[in-house]
Structure 1
Amino acid sequence: MAMPFDDNERAAIYRAIYERRDMRHFVRGDVDPDVLARLIDAAHHAPSVGYMQPWRIGRVTDAALRAALHAAVERERIRTANALGERHDEFMRLKVEGMLDCGELLVMALMDGRERHVFGRRTLPEMDLASVACAIQNMWLAARAEGLGMGWVSLFDVDEVRTLMRMPSGAKPVAILCLGHVEAFYPKPMLELERWAARMPISECLYENHWPGEKAAAKTALEE
């Protein structure tokens, strides 16, 4: 039987999970190249369906390109606010990204030619996206262990970012990742601190055998 990690190792993993935050506030400063290399390697060791490894990681080092990506996000931020109706003003007060302040800006994308990969995707083609999400989570947890903050920005027009990053046809940007030094990690998720939303109780996300409500309905039908 495989042996578990020792108590300190196990505690460190759970600490990274529970203290990981979607960071929007960064302190200016470069990310150590060796640390960045470790984080990218952590992402590259994520699980992927059919071992297709669909992630492509773009490092944005050009200041003009960073500014253009930020402008694209700002345009979508306004569109999102307009779509939120009565929560427009509340949303506009939120800080949703730190793209101009973070030490590193990365664009995580899906590879092109994904239709060639059938293993694990014949009935669930979106598993390529799930695999990329695993890579992002690997990087996020590793960044927390390194004392770096990371933020996932998803407010952008896909075609606009695809064009800015000169991606081939079929490739798709999934996330703009802000990575860098922070003064402190939020004690709770920022959207919880801002009372935008609250963490759901596990009891509302966990069920046994049958979907919640369906089991009760089936029992009622039998009793009738």
Structure 2
Amino acid sequence: MNINDTIKNRRATPPRFISKEKISEETIKQLLENANWAPNHKQTEPWRFKVYSGAAKEKLADDIFLQLEEKMKEGANVNAQKAEKLRENIKRVPVVISVAMQRDEAQRIPEWEEVAAVSMAVQNMWLTATEMGLGAFWATPYFISLLHDILEVEPGQLPMGFFYVGKVAMDYPSPGRGPVDSKVEWK
């Protein structure tokens, strides 16, 4: 594929359309290597990833659910159905990568620029997955801030969700895009 085709073929493939079939560590390393080449100001390289597969992924799913159940008992605003869906989705896919932003200690650039850099790193993984014929999905649960202990969030880090990746079990159609001309002004 050329870059234009890769971009247009990228899909947010829901976990239910991703096969449980194992993907190689080499494949994941390539996704992460390409993520590492995302643009960022002042060379802060703020992206941080933790890769879960096999038993570690199963444990992550269960630990997250138990943590959210406990937080609900304490009165936290967590939808039980969404917590269960997160657990099911993590268990459903072969690999889950937690995504976090590590804030530059010197705060040389605005935080939003570092969040944008992490987002570009995720996009690099997504485009690489597309090029490899894999499905991917970036889940950003609203209650992720309740999971700092389980995700082993370090000082200065902001958890930004979970990147699911695996072989496509069923094609997911393109939602399409409106015409670019409706979003652009030429001056």
TM range (shorter): 0.7 to 0.9
How far the C-alpha of 1:158 sits from its partner, in A, is 3.2
8 Å Cα contact 2:93-2:164 kept in structure 1: yes
Structure 1 match to 2:35: 43
- Alpha-carbon deviation of 1:13? 1.4
Alpha-carbon RMSD across the aligned residues, in angstroms, is 2.9
Q: 2:145 aligns with which of 139, 156, 159?
A: 159
- Aligned partners of 2:78, 2:183: CA distance in 1, in Å? 29
Question: How far apart in 1 are the matches of 2:171 and 2:68?
Answer: 23
Distance of 2:60 and 2:36 partners within structure 1:
24
- AA in 1 matched with 2:60: L
Q: Retained in 1: the 8 A contact 2:18–2:170?
A: no
The match for 1:52 among 26, 44, 47 is 44
Greater relative contact order, per chain length (Cα 8 Å cut-off, separation 6+): 2
Q: Over residues 75-120 of structure 1, what are the superposed CA-to-partner deviations in whole Å (9 max), with x where a residue is unaligned? A: 8883899xxxxxxxxxxxxx9x8322111001010114x24141xx
The equivalent residue for 2:168 is 182
After the TM superposition, which parts of structure 1 deviate over 3 Å for at least 4 consecutive aligned residues? 68-81
Q: If you compute each CA radius of gyration, which structure gives the higher value, 1 or 2?
A: 1
List runs of 5+ in structure 1 lacking aligned partners: 1-10, 82-94, 193-198, 210-224
Match of 1:91 in 2: none
TM-score, normalised relative to structure 1: 0.67
- Residue 73 of structure 1: CA displacement? 8.5
2:22 counterpart residue number: 30
What TM-score do the two structures reach when normalised by structure 2? 0.79
Offset of residue 70 of structure 1? 5.9
Q: CA deviation at 1:33?
A: 1.3
Query: Percent identical across equivalent pairs?
Result: 22
Pair 1:71–1:102, CA change in 2 (3 A): farther
After TM superposition, the structure 1 = structure 2 runs for residues 29-108 of structure 1, keeping only pairs within 5 Å, are: 29-61=21-53, 62=56, 63-69=58-64, 78=79, 98-108=89-99
